[in-house]
Amino acid sequence: MLPDFLDLETADLEALVAELDLPEFRAKQLKEGQFRAISSFDELTNLPKKLRAYLNEHYFPGLPEIQNKLISDDGLSQKLVLAYPDGEVIEAVIMEQSYGHSLCLSSQVGCTMGCRFCASTGLAKARNLSRGELLGQFLLAEQLIAPAKITNLDLMGIGEPLDNYDEVLAFIRRLVDPDHRNFSARKICLSTCGLVPQIKRLAKEGLPLTLTISLHAPWQELRSEIMPISRAYPLNELMEAANYYFEQTGRRVSFEYALFAGVNDSPEAARALAQLLHGLNCHVNLIPANPVPGTDFQSVGREGAEKFLAILTHKGINATLRRSFGKDIQAACGQLRRSSLLEDQGYWC
């Protein structure tokens, strides 16, 4: 398999140009070429033919292949099932919003975190996506909505971004680089199930990212039951890390709280959540959960979700109830990949 052109950093491009005995300005052209969403190096017509032929022979240009594309009934969400040259498949979702286009990317193929309610769990071994593979998802999505641009990026698809720390950070740094895409770090939302050491490390990166923590339970016992990561990094340590992130970056932390009927949706849970978050500058996103076939997690109804919200609001917690996007195209994390994997294995979904 050929190495990914999009994995090359500026220093690698400079080294390549030197190795091929080319003038230095070619490195800059190659760097620009990394943001052109090409499927063949022949599209980089500012490069000499010989160099294009060399690149075609030695590098994969970097865009994953669209294996499937589903558009929601309202036409606002597009779900992409994308395949990399090694045959691994991930998902990305583009959502048209009032403020622009947001893109939800996958950070890994599969996930090893084991959240019991999540469709990405348990079906296949995870591998990390490289910085170039992450960039490939972004470029492809932006090409599909051209001339519009991606305005908001969520690292909220398949995988745990902080479990793929170095590649995710290298991708973000390239995206926000003024010589590259010059994307706003504030418009990047990184979602984690709660890897405490990596949250603390992220706080020191000097990047004003929006950090979202998938909380889903206000008590340690319940959280460790549904999210095994909580056994390694208990709720009190997670809250301390969230506080630290806010102190270091000045960025308000968000919490995701999916409401599962009979699990975490009681008035006591709402009160416990308000108490847990009391005094922390944060925002809570309540999500009506997506039921995942094969698990016994069911979503709370609209009325129950609104009651939960009212308790939080009454207690002074900044919270909103998010409408659930793209249900008809299984836009929730890992759902489509899961159903195609299960179909392959002869299951119904």
Active-site residue set: 91, 333
Using CB under 6 A, pick the residue from 153, 289, 319, 331 that binds ligand SAH: 289
Give yes or no for residue 332 binding ligand SAH (CB under 6 A). Answer: yes
Give yes or no for residue 331 binding ligand SAH (CB under 6 A). Answer: no
Give yes or no for residue 308 binding ligand SAH (CB under 6 A). Answer: no
54: region left, alpha or beta (phi > 0 left; psi from -120 to 50 alpha):
alpha
Shortest spacing between CB 198 and ligand SAH, in angstroms = 12
Give yes or no for residue 77 binding ligand SAH (CB under 6 A). Answer: no
Q: Which stretch binds ligand SAH (CB under 6 A): 21-29, 172-180, 288-296, 301-309?
A: 288-296
| Dist CA 289 CA 266 (whole Å) | 15
Q: By CB neighbour count within 10 A (0-12 exposed, 13-18 middle, 19+ buried), where does 30 fall?
A: buried
| Dist CA 179 CA 325 (whole Å) | 34
Give yes or no for residue 91 binding ligand SAH (CB under 6 A). Answer: no
User: Which residues in 169-192 are b (16+ Cβ under 10 Å) and which e?
Assistant: bbbbebbbeeebbebebebbbbbb
Helix (H/G/I), strand (E/B), else coil: 269: helix
What is the 8-class DSSP label of residue 321?
E
Q: Which is nearer to ligand SAH, 133 or 160 (CB)?
A: 160
216, 217, 211: which is closest to 199 by C-alpha?
A: 211
Q: Which stretch binds ligand SAH (CB under 6 A): 51-59, 95-103, 246-254, 283-291?
A: 283-291
Structure-token pair, residue 23 = 């003038």
Shortest spacing between CB 118 and ligand SAH, in angstroms = 4
Backbone phi, psi, residue 52, to 5°:
-60, -45
Give yes or no for residue 118 binding ligand SAH (CB under 6 A). Answer: yes
21, 69, 67, 75: which is closest to 48 by C-alpha?
A: 21
Q: Which stretch binds ligand SAH (CB under 6 A): 27-35, 59-67, 72-80, 111-119?
A: 111-119
Give yes or no for residue 16 binding ligand SAH (CB under 6 A). Answer: no
Place of tokens 């208990």: 234
What is the 8-class DSSP label of residue 110?
S
Shortest spacing between CB 161 and ligand SAH, in angstroms = 6
Q: By CB neighbour count within 10 A (0-12 exposed, 13-18 middle, 19+ buried), where does 42 fall?
A: middle
Per-residue string for binding with ligand SAH, 141-160, x by CB under 6 A? ---------------x---x
Count of chain residues binding ligand SAH (CB under 6 A): 18
Beta bridge partners of 68: 81
- Span 169-228, contacts to ligand SAH by CB under 6 A: 191-193, 214
Give yes or no for residue 72 binding ligand SAH (CB under 6 A). Answer: no
Give yes or no for residue 290 binding ligand SAH (CB under 6 A). Answer: yes
Place of tokens 């299984």: 330
- Residues in contact with ligand SAH by CB under 6 A are 113, 115, 117-118, 156, 160, 191-193, 214, 256, 258, 287, 289-290, 292, 332-333
